[in-house]
Structure 1
Amino acid sequence: MLNDRWARFLSIITRYGIRPILAIIPSNQDPALILQAPDPDFWDRMRSLEAAGATIAMHGYRHLCTSHGKPLLRLHQETEFAGVEESQQRKWIRSGLGLLRENGLNPRLFVAPRHGFDLHTLRALAAEGLGILSDGFAHRPVMRHDVLWIPQQLWEPVRKETGLWTICIHTNTATSALESKLERFLAEHAGQFTTFDRVIADNQPTRLSWTEQLGEILANLRFRFSAKKYRRKHSASC
């Protein structure tokens, strides 16, 4: 990753006492994510951040998105996990967990590259004891297929009146405008942020009502439409 950009965002969330979810690729082999020489202090820094209150998530296995399966959220056509045999997915999850644990970390939930997971992924996660997922467009945690879904619906700070909202920030590609926006947002709303442990302790997931399910479907469709427009615009300009 680009350490200078990462350091700027880390400085902001540290200053405002935010305890983030850190999504770590166990064995990164994605050429698009090899942006500078490996950092020999990386694992030490991740252990220190976990000790300070961050929650470690396993972000896929190798981040090689070469499968053309049908992910449940249908946000991307190429993913790492969706469409792959369940036995292979389970091997990847087991190996990824092993790598993170060998480096002294305690992964507690799963973040799928490109939001790409299917029912086989969920079964594999539950079987390997990693039964919590960060994804989905609901406004509160929900149990599905023996996996707890903690929703992840935003890619920049947005004020919301109710519900649980997770902001996903990719520091490698985050702009200075997003950096400034996050700073301003936390200056006003840092006290409303929660932690992974509090979410797990305070929420008893139940089935979504039909209105909640409808809202989740509409939010998914809105995101897919906006993402499609973004890809069309930028591919045309290349």
Structure 2
Amino acid sequence: MNRRPPQYLIRLDDLCPAMLRDPRERFLSILARHGVSSILAVVPDNQDSDLNRQTPDPEFWDRMRSLQAAGATIAMHGYRHACASRGTSILGLHEKTEFAGVNPSVQRQWIRSGLAILRGQGLRPRLFVAPRHGFDRNTLRALAAEGLNILSDGFARRPFTQHQILWIPQQLWEPVAQKTGLWTICIHTNTATASLEEGLGRFLAEHASQLTSFDQVIAGKPPSRLRWSEKIQADLANLRARISNGRSRITSPS
């Protein structure tokens, strides 16, 4: 049986007015040079000091609107990116998250408020990206109730439906060639290294025919629930990521 060649989505995370502008623009330039229609994960009302790297850019929202007009897809990246909850997340990659474990009514209000902020800035958020991959069943219910029923997360190798939500998997944090499936590469420009920047440019050039976009993904074959074998594969990939993340916390300086 012939495998279909892999496809790659690119997502830029932690976009907010006080992020580092120069690396953001360098990565955006790379994507534009290769004709990539990326997902831009925008924080509606950032309150996470770790994301504030310089004086807020007065042209940030104009920049996001122009990128949207040029074909980028806007994702709502949480609400304030303030990760203070120790609730149990479905994916379980981090001890603290913004949404997991928070009262359901509060979660829904955050989602409603975040959508209002982005829409007030002329943006059209089409999917949700949870800070630190942290969300629970109540988050998914709130998203569905507010009409934002697409999520960028999970370790499957194709889009699938679960809990009234369409999941578009996100499994990579740097470009790595794969054998088959849909792979979302998530880039944090605030902390990206020069080698990642150079590597992404090479990867996009080498895999130009395999690059895809959010619109192409959702226009494809209607997704279904994962088969048991696919779920086991995704669960194992999730476990490997959790183990790797735990090692990073242990070895990283405080």
**Interval containing the TM-score (normalised by the shorter chain):** over 0.9
**Counterpart-to-counterpart distance in 2, 1:58 and 1:111:** 6
**Match in the other structure for 1:33:** 51
1:137 aligned partner, one-letter code: F
Q: Distance in 1 between matches of 2:153 and 2:221?
A: 16
Distance 2:132 2:202 in 1: 28
The percent identity for this pair of structures is 66
**Counterpart selection for 1:132 from 143, 150, 154:** 150
Check the 8 A contact 1:141/1:203 in 2, yes or no: no
Runs of at least 5 residues in structure 1 that lack an aligned partner in the other structure: none
Q: In the aligned structure 2, how far is the partner of 1:52 from the partner of 1:217?
A: 36
RMSD, aligned α-carbons: 0.7
Aligned: 1:205 with 2:188? no
- What secondary structure, in the 3-state scheme, does the structure 2 residue paired with 1:202 have? coil
Q: Would you say 1:190 and 2:190 are equivalent positions?
A: no
Corresponding position of 1:73: 91
Partner Cα distance (2:52, 2:172) in 1: 25
Q: Which moved more, 1:107-116 or 1:190-199?
A: 190-199
Which secondary structure does the structure 1 equivalent of 2:186 belong to? Answer: coil
Large movers: runs of 4+ above 4 Å? none
Amino acid at match of 2:165: V
Q: Which amino acid aligns with 2:114?
A: G
Higher relative contact order (CA 8 A, sep 6+): 2
Aligned to 2:198: 180
- Equivalent residue letter for 1:170: H
Match of 1:91 among 92, 109, 114: 109
Tell me the residue number matched to 1:113.
Answer: 131
Q: 2:129 touches 2:151 (CA, 8 Å); kept in 1?
A: yes
Q: TM-score, normalised by structure 2?
A: 0.92
Higher helix share goes to which structure? 1
The structure carrying a bigger strand percent of its residues is 2
Q: CA deviation at 1:187?
A: 1.1
The SS at the match of 1:157 is coil
8 Å Cα contact 2:153-2:169 kept in structure 1? yes
Correspondence 1:46-61 to 2 at 5 A? 46-61=64-79
Q: CA deviation at 1:210?
A: 1.5
| Partners of 1:8 and 1:108 in 2: CA distance | 25
What do residues 56-92 of structure 1 show as CA deviations (whole Å, max 9, x unaligned)?
0000000000001000000001000000011100000
1:63 aligns with 2:81: yes
Structure 2: stretches of 5+ with no match in the other structure: 1-18
